[in-house]
């Protein structure tokens, strides 16, 4: 199975971005952002952020905007809307929670030894404070994260890879939730270990997305199966991801 979506469209110089492109249409561009690249910057005179680079490469009549963002340290799928109609449509889609996202994270602990304790849906309430999300008992925003699968990392016995599905999209939702559960992301300087930002062992990836492009009736499933920059993962985790992608595709097929 190879669920990577692609589409033709007017050539506006996207190759100049130097980034993997998963989907190119008249109203959206979907790329894989590397860790270390800002999605957007308040001040970007050198044009180093993802959105600045897209705007530099876009056709003159395009108006690239971001319906969502990834932290600088997070790699993975980013959708860029290329028209005013598209950004309105995707903002509404996100509010209606029609996008479905799956992430891959490296976490501390041997969680895969007792997967039944962790697999499933976890709900917390989050409040943003000082650039962090804090778990609170009341007054916060509901954050729902589902752990789909766990497997030991190939290189460390005391760490695991977690496959996570987001049911809501809160600020630092995965990082705050996993830390609250006692399995923070490895070298997460905000929620766990006091290490400098940018530590090479921190790993979080937006690995798969199901969304409907503007003007289309059917959702698309985006995923780059063979990604040379992805951390090596256990075959059982790869199989779990394939099952989730298959569920999405089968559900969409039933609706046709």
Enumerate the active-site residues.
71
For 84, the token pair is 């005013």
Number of C-beta neighbours around residue 77 at 10 A: 25
- Phi, psi for residue 243 in degrees, rounded to 5: -65, -40
Do 226 and 20 contact (CB within 8 A), yes or no? no
The β-bridge partners of 107 are 160, 185
- Phi, psi for residue 238 in degrees, rounded to 5: -60, -40
Do 216 and 182 contact (CB within 8 A), yes or no? no
């Amino acid at each position: 199975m190879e669920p990577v979506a692609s589409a033709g469209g007017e050539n506006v110089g996207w190759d100049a971005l130097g980034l993997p492109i998963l989907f190119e249409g008249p109203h959206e561009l979907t790329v894989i952002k590397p860790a270390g690249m800002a999605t957007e910057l308040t001040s970007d005179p050198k044009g180093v952020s993802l959105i600045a680079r897209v705007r530099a490469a876009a056709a003159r009549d395009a108006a690239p905007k971001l319906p969502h963002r990834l932290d600088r340290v997070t790699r993975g799928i980013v959708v860029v809307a290329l028209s005013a109609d598209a950004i309105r449509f995707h903002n509404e889609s996100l509010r209606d929670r029609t996008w479905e996202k799956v992430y891959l994270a490296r976490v501390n602990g041997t969680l895969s030894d007792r997967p039944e304790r962790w697999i499933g849906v976890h709900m917390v309430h989050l409040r943003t404070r000082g650039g962090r999300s804090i778990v609170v008992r009341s007054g916060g925003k509901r954050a729902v994260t589902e752990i789909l699968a766990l497997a030991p990392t190939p290189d460390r016995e005391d760490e695991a890879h977690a496959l996570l599905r987001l049911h809501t999209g809160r600020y630092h939702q995965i990082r705050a939730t996993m830390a609250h559960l006692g399995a923070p992301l490895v070298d997460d300087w905000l929620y766990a270990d006091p290490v400098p930002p940018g530590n090479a062992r921190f790993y979080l990836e937006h690995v798969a997305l199901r969304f409907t492009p503007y003007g289309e009736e059917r959702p698309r499933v985006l995923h780059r199966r063979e990604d040379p920059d992805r951390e090596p993962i256990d075959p059982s985790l790869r199989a779990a991801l394939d099952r989730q992608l298959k569920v999405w595709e089968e559900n969409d097929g039933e609706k046709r």
